[in-house]
Amino acid sequence: MSPELALKPALTEARVSENGYSNETYARFVFWINQTGNSQKRVAGMIGRSAAAINQYIHKKYEGNIPEFEKDIESLLRREEDVEFPFKNPTFRLTSISQRIWTVLQSCDQDRDMGVITGPAGCGKSETLREYKRQVRSSIFITGDVVSRSASSSLGLLGRKLSIGNRGSNSNFLQRITEVLKDSGRLIIVDEAHFFDWGAFEVFRKLHDCAGIGVVFCGQERIYEEMRGGRRSFLWDQIFSRVGVRCHLSTIEKKDIKILTDTICPNLDKPCLEYLLAKATGKGRFRVMMKTLQRAVRIADSEKVPVTLDILKEANSLLLL
Q: What is the pLDDT of residues 140-162, one digit of tens each?
A: 999 998 888 899 999 999 988 88
How much of the chain exceeds pLDDT 70, in percent?
88
pLDDT at position 199 over 50: yes
How does DSSP classify residue 11? P
Q: Taking the domains of the chain in order of start, what are their residue ranges?
A: 3-80, 96-248, 254-319
Do the Cβ atoms of 163 and 181 come closer than 8 Å? Answer: no
Q: What is the pLDDT of residue 295?
A: 93
What is the torsional sign of CA 204, 205, 209, 214?
positive
How much of the chain exceeds pLDDT 90, in percent?
47
Q: How far is CA 50 from the centre of its chain?
A: 33
Q: What is the pLDDT of residue 11?
A: 34
Q: What is the pLDDT of residue 233?
A: 67
Q: According to the per-residue pLDDT averaged within each range, which of 20-24, 82-86, 111-115, 156-160 is highest?
A: 111-115
Query: What amino acid occupies position 132?
Result: Y
Do the Cβ atoms of 158 and 151 come closer than 8 Å? Answer: no
Considering the segment(s) 3-80 as one domain, its CATH architecture is Orthogonal Bundle (1.10)
pLDDT at position 169 over 70: yes
Q: What is the pLDDT of residue 142?
A: 92
pLDDT at position 94 over 80: yes
Q: What is the pLDDT of residue 2?
A: 34
Query: What amino acid occupies position 38?
Result: N
Q: Which residues pair with 16 in a beta bridge?
A: 22
What is the torsional sign of CA 28, 34, 40, 43?
negative
For residue range 5-55, list pLDDT tens digits in order.
333 333 333 456 667 898 888 888 887 787 666 788 989 999 999 999 999
Considering the segment(s) 96-248 as one domain, its CATH architecture is 3-Layer(aba) Sandwich (3.40)
Query: What amino acid occupies position 26?
Result: Y
Which has more pLDDT, 79 or 310? 310
Fold match, 3-80 / 96-248? no
pLDDT at position 304 over 90: yes
Do the Cβ atoms of 270 and 309 come closer than 8 Å? Answer: no
